[in-house]
Amino acid sequence: MPIISRFFGIIIYVFWREHVPPHFHAKYGDDEITVEIKTGKVNGNMSSRALKMIREWRKLHKAELLEDWKLAEQKKALFPIKPLE
């Protein structure tokens, strides 16, 4: 599970053996969600505070997330993405 970013206790990662559509996983405490990179659609449950930060981070880093997704499909090392500040 390559971790690509961490901020405010939230861990963002992408698996190498994944399925489409392009998405990432986010974990905060015991909660875990998946977020579609292009649309922002969320699957799973998470606190509204954490979810708001994750959505903001996705918007800021959408292009980088798609680049990492392409690398993951090729089973190559992913680049870290700047955390939300």
Q: What pLDDT digit, counting tens, does each position of 7-32 carry?
A: 999 999 998 777 789 999 999 999 99
User: Three-class SS of residue 62?
Assistant: helix
Using one digit for the tens of pLDDT, what is the confidence trace for 42-55? 999 999 999 999 99
Would 81 be classed as within a structural domain?
A: no
Taking all residues of the chain, what is their mean pLDDT, rounded to a whole number?
A: 94
CA geometry: angle 42, 80, 78, nearest 5 deg:
85
Query: Is residue 83 domain-resident?
Result: no
- Residue 85 within any structural domain of the chain: no
What is the domain count for the chain?
Answer: 1
Provide φ and ψ at 49, rounded to 5°: -65, -50
Structure tokens given for 80? 């870290």
- Residue keyed to tokens 């969320």: 42
Closest CA to 55 of 29, 20, 26, 81: 26
Tell me which residue range forms the domain holding 10. Answer: 3-73
